[in-house]
Structure 1
C-alpha cells in the first residue's frame, strides 16, 4: 500500500512540474538567445542545417517557403539568391521568431568551392586516353561555411576521355571511376564521373547552361547535374573543370531494364556519324537507318547473351517510326513527340553543332516508344563554332544536312504547330529564368575562372573553333555577356520566325 502511495505521489509531482513548465513564460529567455542562434546560421547556406540548442526547445525552420521541424533540409534553388531564414523557437506556451538574410546557394554555384585532389599511385605515371590508372582522391568543399572533406579513397581510377578535346587541347578532360557507387558533392551515387576541361569555351559554362536548361524542360527523361570544381593532380593545379555525370543507364539516375538476349527489352543508343570516320561496319551493336549510324550502348553488345537480332529489332522499329513520319502518319505509336520537341528545342535554341553528328542519345523502354536524351556535349554551341553559320539567325538542326529525324518531324504541319506552342511556353517560362541565372552563375565562379586563365591563357587567343566574337570578349565577364546576349538574340529570332508563312509551310532555308 505504501509503495502505491509513493508511486501516485511521484506521478502527481511529475504532472505538476509539467503543468508549471507548460504555463511558465519563457519569452525573455528565448529573446536572450537571438544573437547566439542567428550567429549559428551560415551566411552561405548550401546543405542541411540544425541549430545547436537544448532538447527542451522546439525549433521550426522556414527557408524560402520550405518549412521543416528540428532540421532544415536543403533544397537547391535554380540559382543563388538572397532568402530570409526564419527560425521559430518555442518552449511551453512561449514562442519567438528570429530572421536572418542569407544567400541560398544553388548546388552548382561556384561559391560552394568544390575541389578534387588526385594523387597517382605511381608518381608521374602517364594518364592515357583508354587505360585507367590507380589514384587516391580527396573530395572537399565549403559546406555551410565550413571546409569539409567529403570523400577520401583509393578505390578509384582515372583515365582520359574525349576525342578532339583530348588530342587538340593542352588542358585534358578526364573520366573518374570509383570501385563502388559513390556520391560526391550531392550528386547521385554512381561509379562514373566526367571532368570536362572546357578549354575551347572561354565562358567555361556552355555545357552547364545546356544542362541547366534541360532541368526546366519537363518532357525530358533525365537532366545531368554539373559542378564547377578546382582540380589538382599530385598537388599541381590543373584548372577549373566542370564535373558531371557519365551518360549511362543507372539505378540512381536514368534507369530502365535492358536485358541482353531479350528482343523486346529496353535499349539505350546513340546517333554517331563517326561510324564513317572510323570506317566501321554494321554489327557488334551498330546498325544503319537510311545511312545514319546508331550504336547500342545498353544492352551491352559485348555481353555473351547479347543477340544480333536485338539490333535488327531496334533497326526495324526505327524504320517503322520513320515510315510513320513520312507516309503512314501513325508516328506517335513509335515516337514520344513531346519529348522529342523538348530535346530538339534545346539543340535549336543553342544552335549546337553536334545535333546531327554525335552525342544524340535515345532510349526505348520495353513496350515503349522512342525518346531522346539526356542531352550532352554543348561546348560548340551558343555561338562558339566558326565553321558553321553560328550567328543567332537562321534555322539549323532540322535542315536536310543536319538531324534527319528532326527534319522528318518538322516536315509535318501538326508537329510544327506543337513545336511553336512549346516554344511560346519556353519564351514565357524558361528564358526569363535562364537570363537571370547566367550572370549569377558566371559571377559565382569568376575568381576561379581567373585562376584557370592564369594557368591556361585564353583571352584574345584563337583556339579552334572560336569565332571572332569569342576573341573580342577579352574578360570572363564579357564572355558571360556574349553567351547571355546570344541566347536572348537567338530566342527572339526564332520567336519572330515562327510567325512567318515560310515556317508554316515548312521552309527552313535549305
Structure 2
C-alpha cells in the first residue's frame, strides 16, 4: 500500500502521477490521469513476465471546517454502508430477515467528534441520525437507512480486499457467500475478474466469476457449472433489458439452450455494489452449449466457440483472409496449437463459402 496525503481541498478525481519504476512496464502508465477517489492498483511487469501490484491511496489533509462520515461498517453483519454525500444519507442493504434491532456500528469520520459515537449498539429498524462536528464548531447530520433485500445476496471477498480492476487477470483465492430468499447459505472459494469492453469503464463494474475445479455448484435453481457472469446493467436503468431478451430467446427460439439468470444484490469486499444479474456464461457443457467437449491438444477434434468481435477482446483473436475479426470464447486457456487448429478450420469454412458464391 502506498499512502499519499495532498493539501486540503485538492480535487483527487483527476490527478496525473509521475511514476518511476524498475520493471519493463507499468499499468496504468505514468502520466495518465486517474481518479483517486478510490484506491488505484498499479501493476509493474518485470522483464521475466512476473508482476508486482501496488495499491495507491490518496487522501486530502483535514481542514478546520471538515466534517464528514467516510466509512460506516456493521461488523456483526460484515456489511459496509453506501454513503450518498450530497444527500447526507448512508444506505445499508442486508439479506431478508436480518436482525437489526441491536447492532454495533463502526464509524470513521473527519472532524472533532461524532454522536452517537462509533461502536455504540443501536436499533436500526428506523433511520438513525449521526451528527459530525468540525473543529470550528460547524456540523453535518447523516441519516443511516437500513433496508432488507427481497433478492438473493451475494458476498465476494478478495484476499486482502484487493480491488477487482482488470478483465485479463484473475484474482484467485477469493471467497463467496450466497444467501437466497429463504435464508439458505451457500459458500466456498471463487476466482473473480472484470469483464466487458465499454462496460468495464463504467462506474458499476461487471464481473466474471469461476468456481474451483470439481466444485461447481447449482446457483439459485440454475444447473451446476464453474463459470458465471455478473452483469452490472449500468446503462440500463430499468435493469430489465437483458432479462427480457433472454426470456424472449427462451420462449421464441428453437435453440436447445438460452442462458438462464437471476437478479441478486452484490457486495464486494463488504462494500455494497448494487443490483446485479447472475447469468450462465456461454460455455461448452452438457448444461449449456451441448456440443462435443472442448478442443484441446489431447482432443484436436473437440468443439469450440468463436464470435465475430471487432474489439478482439479474448486471449486468442485472429483476422480471416476476408477481414473478419474472430475471437475464441471457449477454450479460454493459452493453447497455441489448439488455436492454430481453430484458425485453420474457420479459414476453410470461409474459403468454401467464397468459392460457392
**TM-score normalized with structure 1 length:** 0.36
The CA deviation string for residues 383-436 of structure 1, in whole angstroms up to 9 with x for no partner, is xxxxxxxxxxxxxxxxxxxxxxxxxxxxxxxxxxxxxxxxxxxxxxxxxxxxxx
Partner of 1:199: 234
User: Is 2:194–2:200's contact at 8 Å kept on the other side of the alignment?
Assistant: yes
Q: CA deviation at 1:299?
A: 5.0
User: Is 1:284–1:308's contact at 8 Å kept on the other side of the alignment?
Assistant: no
Partner of 2:179: 140
Partner SS state of residue 254, structure 2: coil
Partner SS state of residue 320, structure 2: strand
Q: CA deviation at 1:300?
A: 5.5
1:170 equivalent among 190, 203, 209: 203
Unaligned ranges ≥5, structure 2:
1-148
Q: CA deviation at 1:223?
A: 0.2
1:274 aligns to 2:311 (yes or no)? yes
User: Is 1:300–1:306's contact at 8 Å kept on the other side of the alignment?
Assistant: no
Partner of 1:288: 320
Q: CA deviation at 1:188?
A: 1.7
User: Is 2:264–2:276's contact at 8 Å kept on the other side of the alignment?
Assistant: yes
Q: CA deviation at 1:244?
A: 0.5
The CA deviation string for residues 14-67 of structure 1, in whole angstroms up to 9 with x for no partner, is xxxxxxxxxxxxxxxxxxxxxxxxxxxxxxxxxxxxxxxxxxxxxxxxxxxxxx
Partner of 2:260: 225
Partner SS state of residue 338, structure 2: coil
Q: CA deviation at 1:212?
A: 0.7
User: Is 2:263–2:275's contact at 8 Å kept on the other side of the alignment?
Assistant: yes
The verdict on how the C-alpha distance between 1:235 and 1:284 changes in structure 2, with shifts beyond 3 A counting, is closer
Q: CA deviation at 1:131?
A: 2.4
Q: CA deviation at 1:315?
A: 1.6
User: Is 1:260–1:300's contact at 8 Å kept on the other side of the alignment?
Assistant: no
Partner of 1:160: 194
Task: Give the distance between the partners of 1:294 and 1:304, measured in 2 at CA.
Answer: 15
Task: Give the distance between the partners of 1:170 and 1:285, measured in 2 at CA.
Answer: 28
Q: CA deviation at 1:252?
A: 2.7
Task: Give the distance between the partners of 1:162 and 1:244, measured in 2 at CA.
Answer: 14
Task: Give the distance between the partners of 2:179 and 2:288, measured in 1 at CA.
Answer: 23
Q: CA deviation at 1:284?
A: 5.2
Provide the aligned C-alpha RMSD in A.
Answer: 2.8
Partner of 1:75: none
Task: Give the distance between the partners of 1:323 and 1:211, measured in 2 at CA.
Answer: 36
Q: CA deviation at 1:271?
A: 0.4
Task: Give the distance between the partners of 2:240 and 2:268, measured in 1 at CA.
Answer: 22
Query: How many aligned positions are there?
Result: 203
Partner of 2:165: 128
The CA deviation string for residues 51-90 of structure 1, in whole angstroms up to 9 with x for no partner, is xxxxxxxxxxxxxxxxxxxxxxxxxxxxxxxxxxxxxxxx
The verdict on how the C-alpha distance between 1:136 and 1:298 changes in structure 2, with shifts beyond 3 A counting, is closer
* Aligned structure 1 segments of 4 or more residues deviating by more than 4 angstroms: 261-265
Q: CA deviation at 1:322?
A: 5.2
Q: CA deviation at 1:201?
A: 0.7
Task: Give the distance between the partners of 2:251 and 2:280, measured in 1 at CA.
Answer: 18
Q: Which structure: greater helix fraction?
A: 1
Q: Which structure: greater strand fraction?
A: 2
Partner of 2:346: 314
User: Is 2:306–2:327's contact at 8 Å kept on the other side of the alignment?
Assistant: yes
Task: Give the distance between the partners of 1:298 and 1:307, measured in 2 at CA.
Answer: 10
Q: CA deviation at 1:218?
A: 3.5
Task: Give the distance between the partners of 1:323 and 1:201, measured in 2 at CA.
Answer: 43
Task: Give the distance between the partners of 1:301 and 1:119, measured in 2 at CA.
Answer: 25
User: Is 2:246–2:260's contact at 8 Å kept on the other side of the alignment?
Assistant: yes
Partner SS state of residue 245, structure 2: helix
Task: Give the distance between the partners of 1:181 and 1:248, measured in 2 at CA.
Answer: 14
Q: CA deviation at 1:265?
A: 4.6
Partner SS state of residue 290, structure 1: coil
Partner of 1:260: 296
Matches within 5 A, 1:24-173: 113-123=151-161, 125-129=162-166, 130-133=168-171, 134-142=173-181, 146-149=182-185, 151-153=186-188, 155-167=189-201, 169-173=202-206
Q: CA deviation at 1:320?
A: 2.2
Task: Give the distance between the partners of 2:260 and 2:348, measured in 1 at CA.
Answer: 34
1:302 equivalent among 329, 334, 340: 334
Task: Give the distance between the partners of 2:331 and 2:155, measured in 1 at CA.
Answer: 34
